[in-house]
Chains A and B, each alone.
Chain A
Amino acid sequence: MTRSTLNQWFRSAWPPFVAVLLFLTAWEAAVRFFGIEAWILPSPSVIAQEASSSASSLWMHTLSTLQLTLIGFAIGSTFGLLVACALHLVPLLKSALYPLLILSQNVPTIALAPLLMIWFGFGLLPKIIVITLVCFFPVAVSTMDGFAQTDRTMLNYMRMIGAKRTQIFRKLEFPHALPSMFSGLRIAATYSVMGAVIAEWIGAQKGIGYYMILQKSAFRTDRIFAAIIIIVVLSLLLFLLVTLIERLVVRGGRRGASSEGGESR
């Protein structure tokens, strides 16, 4: 069982792996062949070299960004989840606030960052607020969708056997909404890294975003590439973390679409 899943994983992992390898090779070859200057487009080997020589400072900035991301993600997701539950359980609240919630999704949250800096200074607080806002919407909206899509037959069954409102919520609606909630969390995970970096661009003394701004003014394209790679890796890690938690929490055959193909074989 474990061996076959490992095998399967390997089989689906090698084609993209080879594709990336080919892409890097082509990149390297093109840079050398056309003699492109490093400040325009550094070759992968140059980026790797630079990354390893400035590893300690990159690591410091990465940790700072990671911390910011995790705090913002945790607060924003919790907040989104609580609001979704509250709106679902109090229909009046929902009919009053849900349309506003959907409308306010059109406000580009990131654009509020400069405003927040003016109001709350350049410390941790405005940055956390930005990430919280960015994470809040996808979690709240998809969790509420999950509640709304509760299976009618199951709902009728619970009512017929005399389940109380809280029992229906705890035993049916909440577990039913979990897959949908996790797809919101996955989106929030990627957004939160982006939110952190942008918040750092606007005003910070450390973090990957700050590092990028610094290197930009020095035209150190190689270091900017290293920073981009770190951002991608951070997003991926957070995404995987959410997926892992989903695997532990969501039971039975109804996980997100990503794992469905694996189970059908």
Chain B
Amino acid sequence: MNDREKEAPVKLELSGLRKSFGGKRKPLPVIGGVSLQVRKGEFVSLIGPSGSGKSTLFHLIGGLLKPDSGEIRLDGRVINGERGHIGYMPQQPALFPWRTIEDNVVLDREVNGAPRRESLEEARRWMERAGLAGFEKAYPHTLSGGMQQRAAFVRSLLSPHELMCLDEPFSALDAFTRSEMQAWLLDIWEETRRSVLFVTHHIEEALLLSDTIYVLSGRPSEAMRRIEVPFPRPRREEITETPEFLSLRRELTNLMKEEQRKSTGMPSARQN
């Protein structure tokens, strides 16, 4: 991150967010005090073990759930429990099967009342970038998994809201398609410079794409480590072979292993 970006205003700020599920009698604390920041134009990743409440965190930011305590601030204003402030890509693509790809992609704009003609023009432009040209009038079930993910990504990209929340967009893809998609996302993001909060399990992916990485602990989760990724932009995939990248990766891997071990309650993998 260069100096100009360091001074960029804070887009999203979570402070001391807590959330439990289940009744009063036997609450299951899922999020136990998460604080983090996304600056304007910053790519922030969130990695954490499965079940640590990453999707739940997005549901809180999107206003689907209300936090038990803590604040969600967007552009400085508290938005706890308010909906319709973010662009969102859910963990499953969730394209509407009865809508063509083009109509799916403009859904967020349609809901927010943007003029259709403009939206479609914008959609065509980005669909071409996403390798979806020629599929404007196709229905989702005729597309491959990777193409559906890209369509869902374009849908969140076209959202009129600046902040994009992407929930493990590539988790369902095979390794090869995945690395292709990472390169593609890197490209598009460096061009648009939207504020992004990105959830992933994948350490390399986080290091390749992000300006900042937060590591979540196991349930009840808190943001326990904040790592600034030093590689300059524009980035190429080649950085994944540099010693600096490898040492960061090792550090993160160890951190994650420890968390996974703690959250499954096993003293160590070998004693299992």
Contacts and interface: CB of A to CB of B under 8 A. Distances in A.
Interface of A: 151, 153-154, 156-163, 167, 171-172, 175-176, 178, 250-254
Given A161-B108, A161-B111, A253-B141, A156 B99 contact: no
A83 to B, nearest CB: 23
Nearest to A154: B94
4 closest A-B pairs by beta carbon, nearest first, are A162-B84, A253-B141, A160-B62, A252-B97
Given A153-B94, A159-B64, A175-B96, A253 B111 contact: no
A24 B42 CA distance: 76
Nearest to A249: B98
Given A171-B111, A253-B139, A161 B99 contact: no
B70 interface: no
Given A153-B92, A160-B59, A253-B141, 11 more contacts: A156-B59, A156-B90, A160-B83, A161-B83, A161-B87, A161-B107, A161-B108, A171-B111, A252-B99, A252-B140, A254-B97
Given A156-B64, A252-B99, A161 B139 contact: no
Contacts of A157: 88, 90, 94
Interface string B100-120: 000000011011100000000
24 contacts: A153-B90, A156-B62, A156-B64, A157-B88, A157-B90, A157-B94, A159-B62, A159-B83, A160-B64, A160-B84, A161-B88, A161-B159, A162-B112, A163-B111, A171-B96, A171-B107, A175-B96, A175-B98, A176-B98, A250-B98, A251-B99, A251-B139, A252-B139, A253-B97
A253 B88 CA distance: 24
Contacts of A178: 98
B240 to A, nearest CB: 32
B264 to A, nearest CB: 27
B33 interface: no
B86 A160 contact: yes
A224 B84 CA distance: 64
B21 to A, nearest CB: 15
Contacts of A159: 62-64, 83
Nearest to A178: B98
Contacts of A176: 98
A253 B84 CA distance: 29
Nearest to B89: A157
Nearest to B92: A153
Contacts of B59: 156, 160
Nearest to B111: A163
Contacts of B94: 151, 153-154, 157
B248 to A, nearest CB: 32
Contacts of B88: 157, 160-161
Contacts of A158: 111
Contacts of B92: 153
Contacts of A254: 97-98, 141
